[in-house]
Structure 1
């Protein structure tokens, strides 16, 4: 059930011009030397944008997450996920190494990290070959300030939010350094209830469906991490990192009132869908890192070994209840019970070596290995109260995947103005999925072996002190998440559900980007992105026994192209009292896909096709206003607008939100009040009309508006040097567990 709800919610970010949680690898490649004539808050280097927040007033009293939302090219639409100009999921790195946390833990970590600890933020829109393929949507690398003295410091944060329901969270972070030993830890807890309203309509000339109601999802979370880093000498370092997170979502409910109309016989059948779901998940990972510096130029060897254990246990009961047009209950008709456990075990290893030469030449080489095993022993049982008929459809799906990867990159500074970088990555994937009790013989053994070379090239030309021009081409690959491969149904109503698909294959992503920057404040980005065999969900509709059936099929759905032209500015005015980040752009979407068969059951449906194009305007601005001379009062005014646009599921109506904030800094305390979607304009509307007469309409209100109040207290020796963050070997696997 939740997979359908979540999938629809994520549609909001398909074309955000500057919006989204996640992973990269900056230590595997070093920035080649470039001429920086004057210190600028925002500037363009060879393969990344640099935002020097230590020199920006926006960092005062902010959190790392709040600062990222106000970073040029970066924003968020849901206060959970971060996006880079027109791309879906950004990968988060700290000091060039990926964090050890899953997506939700990472958000809490960023919301509990003071922005004053950050030196600069690097936005890499086109990752090179040294970055694993999952980073196709861009990388955000957070560089922390380096402080020298020993001691202990920490940060405590308390937060309370009021939207549809009240939610709260608290966190504690501690940093300790004594000579060669560094220890870094975090502990956080949170509790919230997510409420969403839905109006779903679909049908054709023979039959129609309408479902209206609410989804309520309570969550309790507890998590944390521990990093221990020991530097034996100037050349050798060893680090151990442990991350843990637990989530409990009990009594998650769906209450939908359904009207199913048979237009041929002019009869409407009214029912209620009421379901209850209990779920809990555990995510634990351990990473061991060894680093050896081989010379004084910065050459080094980096080795990682990691283990990941993920467990999710989910059970649900879905009832269809007879009703009349006034919503009166007349007894249960159907009960669908499901148990959907997901067990994931992963072992990963990486090796990376960087060789730097005196003549401004850097060569990087490395490889990785991943083995992942998933075990999904699903139970599905339906009981018809009228006929007393009981049906069982169990499915025990096992999946074993091995990934081998290797890369080579070469960077060269040809002159003080011109630099270039070329590279390639080779990926080999061997996987086998099988259902030992599947009714369909085609599901009993699904083997897939494929490999791919992924070239990369970038060039940067500093025309003069005020003008910079760069170009990059990148080829990547996107593998399906593990849950997408598990061939189960996620029920919303009796006639409306999502169907996962073990036959989904990896999609290919080809991107190119031309960037011009003027005075380190104004920029123009022209980009093109082609996704072949795009992974998405497609609504198949058909009339069976007078009832319109709607199945959201997870599949590869043809090709998708995005073309963007974006103008941006990051600049301070009135002696720093106003800092403004403004982006305006045009995005062109071209979809090209069709489907008429359920890949699991083989059933044929009227063809669903999307060969439509759209051109959309996108606007986003973040403004930070200093209200007093002592720099203790600040006000934030943030706004984004996304024009209607065509996606795989249909036309997404325009989205808009205005957010306001007020902040007070008092000694080591920071008090913040944030007001989101103050105009109550953020609602998701999707509509599609097919030539064959089928139509589909989704109205979703996530209740984004509300108030958020937080108190932060910094204590201890603020000069503590941060622990060395380690690049986990299992980073690309974690992003596929959700």
Structure 2
């Protein structure tokens, strides 16, 4: 009986998901706006009438046939809708779809006068002239050309000579390839220009004031991104970034991670046919770069190969004045330091895609990244007890932050009919991290007295497999569901060594060695449903269930009791298109934020003994509820977007500073689940065309935050503290297209002081100006840009608790002038875009510091539901 029931259930589901059954009951999927079965809601009367065969069709022996082709390329238009309309009643009485060769036919037609209507997404709906069928007639209409429709459903595109910013139903898109001053830089230089984002002096990225975000590269995660977002962004060249997508309200298809949202960086890809080689180079006072990227496409096979390297050199100085209270004694520390950075970053990629069949494709990609960050520091420190000099120290420190990462993925996708597709994706990632320092400890007269070394080696690896399926339900609904499994492992090992002025370094018993083995397994499933009403409301609702199991050991054999947890995370997105190009959107979602590698790492890093860093392997995830409301509109030549948002986080992960009980005057920075964070804010930005060749865009970000958590009190017991504050930020950019291939751009950014639980992070600013000249019929370009050319940047940060107070000032000498050059070799021709396999998107780990998401306003905008490609 059970077997019979299961077979019956399977047969029912198969029938329901079979597009031929759906088409038989509800008619074929819609075409462009206003077409039969159209999903855009622009011809409500016709949409209601044409739900398959709207009236009883008289039978006969007539036939009408033809071939649908693209009016520009002449290639067949597959799966287009062909409706047969009775001229007398103006109602559809029959219909079909074109096949893989664009051919269609309508048979068993009774004599009469008819009109054919052709429609498909991306093409204008076209009506034929009246055709008359007489008994026994076979009419061959030959090739019917369909012109492309330049409109894109569900998008509001910024007007002006260059669409620098686009707003889609679920995300904002910044087209980085329109930005010339970031050329020769890295991804963090691009993200500084993106609305709603801010990037601090260390490269840490915030979205609406929160660093609790996920960063994807081409819709894929990377273990190096999970380890440290700031360092990962420096490995990605700005020249290879096509666009940046900011997704503030991800749907259920996305992993539940990223409390504030998701940032998806899309690199440049092409649908070119042939062989090409691109060269990008730059030289500057603070950094130089060289990149080579090639592509080859012939027939069913496409290959890409790329390499990029960037070397930097920069200086900085800092002062620190902090006071701590330990055991009834007040200690004050004064420190002066200098630093010189010599980072080298590289990234190398190899990609392949192959068409297995007309409706099946396979893609694979390997990306290797490397980072070699070396910093030389000097630290002059005086420690006072009750204002009496207690100790003087002088340290020369060499820091080495090294990493090598590899990401490999294999993706397969099969398309059954328009809007119905199934994909399976796999990915393996591994990153090796080395975070060491070596210190010479000097006497008051500068002689070498002792030496210290910290060795910290980490590996972070994960394997992911996921599958996704989507299918239309009637003409205005879309169902999506899928599952995913992630197996993740972190292994960290560390030790300290000491030595005199000469001789070997030996194990330091006062700073014992240790290790952390952390295994995390995640199983997830989701379901999402999209419904578009005739009145142009789009509803996308879904829910995602995730179960996380953790096993962890410290020092090889000490089990850490970290319980498993399960979360149900719903999401709701609603949009409404109004007259005059105005769109209103509202959204709610719940997000999870799991701790990242550096937040878990228990290694005690005393590269600066007055500012010690240590992770916390017992961290729990945080949960955040988000709501937002936005409105966008185009008024004449100006595009405006305004939004308000609210965020409530429980069990929030945050940095905590506490006095050290072993090193006099030192402060330990670690991570804890502090408690509650409540944030409300607004974002306003605009883009306007002053002339067809001159655009100006900018925006203002503001938010208010309330934080509450625990911190040690003067008596050693934990006390509850809170802090509130307002943070303001803004940006302004102007682009000018000149004659004879010249262009110019200016950019400026400012972020005000940011409140933290125990104090305030200082404000900072940056600005740049650049010019570029296209050469050799736009095959190449030469550019010149200057950044912060009037001086460096100074940032002041303050901390205040019952047990400590601190003021640190950092001066970064980041003035820069750079020359850039690019050139393209090879001859290419355009071909139609190929459907690639979907890719793994692990956006579920908290960082330190899609192309898809939601469907467009209509699931007819294939592929709807937009799983990140």
TM class, shorter-length: 0.7 to 0.9
Structure-2 residue corresponding to 1:10 = none
Corresponding residue SS for 1:447: coil
1:177 aligns with 2:297: yes
For residues 253-272 of structure 1, what are the structure 2 equivalents within 5 Å?
253-263=376-386, 266-272=388-394
Aligned to 1:350: 466
- Paired residues in the alignment total 676
**Residues 177/109 of structure 1: CA separation in 2 closer, same or farther (3 Å cut):** farther
Cross-structure match for 1:522? 640
1:232 counterpart SS class: strand
Report the equivalent of 2:767. Answer: 658
CA contact (8 A) 1:94 1:725 kept: no
How many Å separate the matches in 2 of 1:537 and 1:38? 40
- Match runs of 1:105-504 below 5 Å: 109-113=236-240, 122-140=245-263, 150-163=273-286, 167-204=287-324, 206-249=330-373, 252-263=375-386, 266-295=388-417, 297-323=418-444, 328-329=445-446, 331-332=448-449, 335-382=451-498, 391=509, 393-436=512-555, 444-504=559-619
Q: Is the 8 A contact 1:127 1:136 kept in 2?
A: no
Which residue in 1 is equivalent to 2:817? 707
Task: Name the structure 1 match of 2:117.
Answer: none
Contact 2:246 2:263 in 1 (8 A): yes
Contact 1:224–1:244 (8 Å) recurs in 2: yes
Contact 1:583-1:621 at 8 Å conserved across structures: yes
The 1:455/1:369 distance shift into structure 2, 3 A limit, reads same
**Matched residues in 1 for 2:526 and 2:704: separation?**
33
CA distance in 2, matches of 1:409, 1:308: 28
Q: State the alpha-carbon separation in 1 of the partners of residues 246 and 761 from structure 2.
A: 28
Gaps of 5+ in 2: 1-37, 41-152, 850-869
CA contact (8 A) 1:476 1:509 kept: yes
1:712–1:350 CA distance, 2 compared to 1 (3 A): same
Tell me the residue number matched to 2:746: 637
Q: 1:197 to 1:38 in 2, by over 3 A?
A: closer
- The match for 2:827 is 717
Measured after TM superposition, the shift of residue 211 of structure 1 is: 1.6
Corresponding position: 1:584 with 2:693: no
Q: Which deviates further from its counterpart, 338-347 or 277-286? A: 277-286
When the two structures are superposed, what TM-score results if normalisation uses the length of structure 2?
Answer: 0.71
Asked if 2 retains the 8 angstrom alpha-carbon contact of 1:99 and 1:727, the reply is no
| Cα distance in structure 2, aligned partners of 1:610 and 1:320 | 38
Structure 1 range deviating more: 41-50 or 421-430: 41-50
Q: CA RMSD in A?
A: 3.5
Residues 494-545 of structure 1: CA deviation (Å, up to 9, x unaligned) = 3431121111111112211110112270121101122222222211026668
Deviation readout 1:548-604 (Å, 9 max, x if unpaired): 231112222222222112222111112x2321111123321212122229xxxxx98
Q: Secondary structure at the match of 1:488?
A: coil
How far does the alpha carbon of each residue in 1:58-109 deviate from its partner, in whole angstroms, 9 at most, with x for none? 6899789677655554565559666555453765667766689856566555
Contact 1:45 1:460 in 2 (8 A): no
Deviation at residue 227 of structure 1 after TM alignment: 0.9
Output the CA distance in 2 between the equivalents of 1:171 and 1:315.
29
Distance in 2, Cα, partners of 1:466 & 1:111: 32
Counterpart CA distance in 2 for 1:38 and 1:278 is 45
Distance in 2 (alpha carbons) for counterparts of 1:52 and 1:308: 28
Taking a change above 3 Å as real, the CA distance of residues 394 and 58 of structure 1, as seen in their structure-2 partners, is closer
Note the residue ranges of structure 1 that are not aligned, 5 or more in a row.
1-30, 598-602
**Structure 1 residue 236, shift from structure 2 partner:** 0.9
Contact 1:513 1:525 in 2 (8 A): yes
Contact 1:419–1:460 (CA under 8 A) maintained in structure 2:
yes
User: Any residues of structure 2 matched to 1:51-62 within 5 Å, and which?
Assistant: none
Indicate the SS of the match to 2:257.
Answer: helix
Q: Please state whether the residue corresponding to 1:484 is helix, strand or coil.
A: helix
Structure 1 residue 341: Cα displacement: 0.8
Encode CA deviations 1:666-710: one digit per residue, 9 max, x unaligned. Answer: 2322122221123436222111233x3621112122333212221
TM-score normalized by structure 1? Answer: 0.83
CA distance in 2, matches of 1:552, 1:100: 24
C-alpha spacing 1:153/1:67, structure 2 compared with 1 (3 Å): farther
- Indicate which of 603, 623, 626 corresponds to 1:508: 623
Confirm or deny that 1:618 pairs with 2:742: no
| CA-CA distance at 1:476 after TM superposition | 0.7
* Contact 2:204–2:211 (CA under 8 A) maintained in structure 1: no
Post-superposition shift, 1:364?
A: 1.3
**Counterparts of 2:661 and 2:156, CA distance in 1:** 68
Structure with max Cα Rg: 2
